[in-house]
Amino acid sequence: MEKPIKELLKFSIINIDKPSGPTSFTVSTYIAKELKATKASHFGTLDPQVSGVLPIALNRACRLSTFFMNKDKSYVGIIRVHKEISLEELQKEAKKFIGKITQLPPVRSSVKRAVREREVKSFEILEKRDKDFLFMTEVQAGTYIRKLCSDLGEKIGGAHMLELRRTKAGIFSENKSITLYEFDKIIKDYKSGNDGPLRNVLISGEEACKIFPKIKVRKDVVKKIITGSPIFKSFLSESPGKDIQKGQKVVVYAEDRFIGVYEFINSKDLIAKPEFVLN
């Protein structure tokens, strides 16, 4: 909160509630233009007709995408069945999809069409109205919800997804997102000299990275570290937590200064290797 707004914009994320209609790329491009960001990228594409949580990274925070894009996602939507079925029967069929499933990406998908395994953490059928059912699901990143609905339909005589909204993407949730209308008002205030509303919705990259365990190094080794050096045992100002696992992502700090995101190695003198360094 103490940083100048222009410095904050260099390494921050804004959680947008995307409306149905525009593409994720269109929305992120619009955000970048209004904030005069040199670069913007979103953490996970939403189809044009899908609404909901679309975190957009600005400038150097774009390099954090690999750390946040592959987190679990939550959705709420409507599935329309093609034959009459009771709420209880559909709930029973949906439960069969919880766990590991295999999916073939749709023809229009941007990824290679090869069967891949994904995990469905939950799949709840909540309400029924005629042939429309309200559902809620939490899935591993990269799971196609439209395909999940059609695969469920194959078990019951046909079904397709009618509507979908993303309610959560990793640490980003809909109750802390802003609509494009709210964003436009914030930009109007910002351009008139009031940066308070914009400051309130920008999430600094440092703040977002607090989901990872922290490792502290001495202040006198910062110069070596920000030029690419790994973290060695002799650099530490205190021992890392015993619950940190090898291969896990960690954030490195020198006192209150955020240094970057590292992979925890903990082998002999080598503690961690850099994956993103803020310099």
DSSP state of 70: T
CA–CA separation, 216 and 239 (whole Å): 8
173 has which bridge partners?
A: 168
Would you say 217 and 234 are in contact if contact means Cβ atoms under 8 Å apart? no
CA–CA separation, 215 and 172 (whole Å): 24
CA–CA separation, 202 and 8 (whole Å): 8
Q: Measured at the alpha carbon of residue 203, what is the angle toward residues 209 and 196, in degrees to the nearest 5? A: 155
Residues annotated as catalytic (active site), given as ranges: 47
Which token pair is 215? 């490792």
